[in-house]
Structure 1
Amino acid sequence: MPDRSDVCVLVPTYNESGAIEQVVTGFRDAGYETVLVIDGGSTDGTQSIAESAGARVIEQSGSGKGQAVREAIDHIEAPYILMVDGDATYRPEDADAMVEPLFEGRADHVVGDRFADMERGAMTRLNRAGNWLINHAFRAIHGRDLGDILSGYRAFTRASIERLSLSADGFGIETEMAVECIKHDLRTAVVPIRYECRPTEAETNLRPIRDGAVIGLTLYQMARTSNPLFYFGSLGLMTSTAGAGVGLYVAVEWITRSITHEIMAVLAAMGIIFGVQLLMFAVLSDVIVTLHRERMRRFEDLAARLDRLTGADARASTVEPPAFDGGQSDGDRSDDGSESTDDSAE
């Protein structure tokens, strides 16, 4: 059974000097000795404070939380990773509950649900509204409820994170991870956690309007490959609806006032035709993606079976052969183990 020594606590940071010591010492006191802080070039002493608290510190080559997570994976050897923000809003006391589904083999990826127990004032109304909108959009697009896809408290196996194709640089990394889990059919669990207020001395790096727009755009763009029926279907529906609206206006003008709008009529027809084509393309793309996922699932099942067979052959090859008895059969030995001779037989 795995234990806390098999877990690496990953903490992406940027100017978190007001809270990073509390984060590192909290997890180390909770029994998670391996803490990796990957820093985006802080100028407030975050790196030295983290090192003094007992963390291993690496400065990332680029910038942004997404880039930090991708780069950190190459520096982690532990089979399990617990990712947490460096602002002390997540409790070390919830760490055991986060990694438990991984240890028990029930999940490959775990999301901590902040809305299950949120401290008063931990999130502004604007942030709450943005989180609600993005979570509902995710459920509508992918048909899955992961509770809180923007949560920064996550646990996952190293093997599962290596399967994901991550490219986001900033705060869109959590959204990208959620979408990739759905795309690769990873077993994902949601664990209720306590979300607390940020310490007063810790400054936030989140810009709600800009970062919210980036996250929403990331979610929509990723639907192109994860749910093409929604992505191209929504574009086709909007285009055909706009074309139909213009066409209706042209028809009303021609009927009521005998005014013809030739150019607008042509544009309306083009919009309707293009929209219908997009809808057809959406259906075909969805069929292709479904078949691709089914084929990949079969390949993964086959690979797992081959791994099991290879492991069984390896174990069989390690069985020790019977000891060499000098070419004598059991009949050539007496009951007490001494060798019989022809003379004794006579």
Structure 2
Amino acid sequence: MTDYEDVCALVPTRNEATTIGSVVDGLYDVGIGHVLVVDGHSEDDTQRIAREHDADVIEQTGSGKGQAVREGVEHIDETYVLLLDGDATNPPEQAPRLLDPLVEGRADHVVGDRTADMQPGAMTKLNQFGNRLINRAFHRIHGEEYGDILSGYRAFTRESFEQMFLSAEGFGIETEMAVECARHNIPVEVVPTTYRARPEGSETNLHPISDGGRIIFTLYSLAKTSNPLFYFGSVGAVFGTAGVALAGYVGYDWFVKNISHEALTMVAGVLLLLGVQLVMFGVVSDIMVSLHREQRQRIDRLRED
């Protein structure tokens, strides 16, 4: 068995007393040297049980998974970080699948693809639909295929994490990390993992509608720095389409019914002009982003040399 002494497992928790003990034990069983539990003000015995199983425990100063992950990494000195949930949905025994690509130098960030082996009851139909939708949107916007960008089971080097600009407080942290990997050209590998149903008595902290909406908003808002043509172009297309539709209505009434709409004509013109300007701004921004990426690549090559 490989020795993962230079790995810290980071486990954000909130009311996971039912499962946290088995998760910590499973991580130590595969040779991980350090387990850090960042607890989000649990109202049960999560912290006590985690300490009884030899995990280090800190209580996060804020709230939300994103804040817990950022705060947890600040307390980690090891080279590699394994991130997983404390609800036993991510099998600890599969940790080597995610860690080996890092240790062997094949990747700096590894995503565990839960869709490769999703057990019955692990995810509702609504969540599965939302997951597919978000992954397709990510591929369309950012041009990368990371399998399951919402997976909370992943591993990364601490150095690559420090390159990222992360601000999400809740479950949008996984989306932000995927976007930052694409933006900074961080080498990513996707590995298949199992996704288990939550044990009886363990309740999810994820709210599909509200958290799903925040994730989609996060994914779209981050496109302005990684794919500005899509970001500004999509908004411009909406305004432009509205302008064309309104102009069509005005033209129809003018030529067919001999009714003039001076005010609507001005609105249609403004919408069309705004739409064209936004698309042009997106094109210019996209060129600037491309030049910036080329410059970063040159700087990285000079550093390597």
TM-score of the superposed pair, with normalisation by structure 1: 0.87
For residues 27-64 of structure 1, give each alpha carbon's deviation from its aligned partner in whole angstroms, at most 9, with x where no partner exists.
11222131000111111121111111110001111111
1:126 aligns with 2:126: yes
Match of 1:89 in 2: 89
What is the distance in 2 between the residues matched to 1:96 and 1:220?
33
1:145 aligns with 2:155: no
Matches within 5 A, 1:11-90: 11-90=11-90
What is the distance in 2 between the residues matched to 1:238 and 1:272?
10
Shift of 1:22: 1.4
Match of 2:279 in 1: 279
Do 1:19 and 1:201's aligned partners in 2 also have CA atoms closer than 8 Å?
A: no
Secondary structure at 1:259 match in 2: coil
Tell me which structure has the larger Cα radius of gyration.
Answer: 1
What is the distance in 1 between the residues matched to 2:110 and 2:10?
14
Shift of 1:16: 1.1
For residues 171-215 of structure 1, give each alpha carbon's deviation from its aligned partner in whole angstroms, at most 9, with x where no partner exists.
000000000000000000000001111111111100000000000
Q: Which runs of 5+ in 1 are unaligned?
A: 306-346
What is the distance in 1 between the residues matched to 2:41 and 2:298?
44
Match of 1:195 in 2: 195
Match of 1:168 in 2: 168
What is the distance in 2 between the residues matched to 1:115 and 1:154?
14
What is the distance in 1 between the residues matched to 2:239 and 2:27?
52
Secondary structure at 2:32 match in 1: coil
Match of 1:238 in 2: 238
Do 1:18 and 1:203's aligned partners in 2 also have CA atoms closer than 8 Å?
A: no
Matches within 5 A, 1:174-189: 174-189=174-189
Secondary structure at 1:33 match in 2: strand
Match of 1:6 in 2: 6
What is the distance in 1 between the residues matched to 2:225 and 2:207?
28
Secondary structure at 2:237 match in 1: helix
What is the distance in 2 between the residues matched to 1:18 and 1:201?
7
Do 2:3 and 2:31's aligned partners in 1 also have CA atoms closer than 8 Å?
A: no
What is the distance in 1 between the residues matched to 2:242 and 2:17?
52
Do 2:84 and 2:152's aligned partners in 1 also have CA atoms closer than 8 Å?
A: yes
What is the distance in 1 between the residues matched to 2:220 and 2:19?
33
Do 1:63 and 1:169's aligned partners in 2 also have CA atoms closer than 8 Å?
A: yes
Shift of 1:255: 1.4
What is the distance in 1 between the residues matched to 2:29 and 2:97?
16
Percent identity reads 57
Which has the larger displacement, 17-26 or 116-125? 17-26
Do 2:10 and 2:84's aligned partners in 1 also have CA atoms closer than 8 Å?
A: yes
Secondary structure at 1:8 match in 2: strand
TM-score of the superposed pair, with normalisation by structure 2: 0.98
Partner amino acid for 2:145?
Answer: D
Shift of 1:165: 0.6
Shift of 1:304: 2.4
Taking structure 1 as reference, are residues 109 and 20 closer, same or farther at Cα in structure 2, changes over 3 Å only? same
Do 2:15 and 2:46's aligned partners in 1 also have CA atoms closer than 8 Å?
A: yes
What is the distance in 2 between the residues matched to 1:93 and 1:254?
72
Shift of 1:21: 1.0
For residues 10-31 of structure 1, give each alpha carbon's deviation from its aligned partner in whole angstroms, at most 9, with x where no partner exists.
0011111111111111111222
Partner amino acid for 2:130?
Answer: G
What is the distance in 2 between the residues matched to 1:91 and 1:278?
47
Do 2:3 and 2:32's aligned partners in 1 also have CA atoms closer than 8 Å?
A: no
Match of 1:260 in 2: 260
What is the distance in 2 between the residues matched to 1:167 and 1:230?
22
1:251 aligns with 2:251: yes
Do 2:110 and 2:190's aligned partners in 1 also have CA atoms closer than 8 Å?
A: yes
Do 1:12 and 1:86's aligned partners in 2 also have CA atoms closer than 8 Å?
A: yes
Secondary structure at 2:244 match in 1: helix
Shift of 1:293: 1.1
What is the distance in 1 between the residues matched to 2:182 and 2:144?
8
Do 1:38 and 1:59's aligned partners in 2 also have CA atoms closer than 8 Å?
A: yes
Q: Which runs of 5+ in 2 are unaligned?
A: none
In the alignment of these two chains, the number of paired residues is: 304
Shift of 1:254: 1.1
The root-mean-square deviation of aligned C-alpha atoms, in Å, is: 0.9
Partner amino acid for 2:21?
Answer: E
Match of 1:135 in 2: 135
